[in-house]
Amino acid sequence: MSIASDMIRGHTDTIILAHLLSGDSYGYKINRSIAEQTGGQYELKEATLYTAFRRLEQMGLITSYWGDENTRARRRYYSITQAGVQEYHRMLGEWEQSQRLIETLITP
């Protein structure tokens, strides 16, 4: 599992942007979704997730706002920008190219 985690770790930004393509969300919900989609095999560390949010926001790929929650805890929501959508597609293309190269190199 550590090898898989190492391979996935380099794609944190792409994973976050992919989640935001379907709508605005907040950190805990995104992390829970990642854990559910991977059957509990992968989960981002909280520090990694929020560092990525700050980086993506500084790059103009996402924006954030405070939700007006009726619960005790206010949540910071994130949404993808048009630049973020474009960057996601660029990153996805890079991933697909990398995947093809790796398959070529490891398949007998």
One pLDDT digit (tens) per residue for the chain, 108 residues: 445 677 787 899 999 999 999 999 999 999 999 999 989 888 888 999 999 999 999 999 999 999 876 766 789 999 999 999 999 999 999 999 999 999 999 998
Tokens of 63: 């924006």
Q: What is the 3-state secondary structure (H, E, C) of 68-87?
A: CCCCCCCCEEEEECHHHHHH
Q: What is the dihedral of CA 101, 102, 106, 108, to 10 degrees?
A: -30
Residues contacting residue 85 through CB under 8 Å, at least 6 positions apart: 17, 21
DSSP state at residue 62? E
pTM above 0.85, yes or no: yes
Q: Is 57 left (phi over 0), alpha (psi -120 to 50) or beta?
A: alpha
Q: Compute the distance between CA of residue 42 and CA of residue 9 in angstroms, rounded to an integer.
A: 10
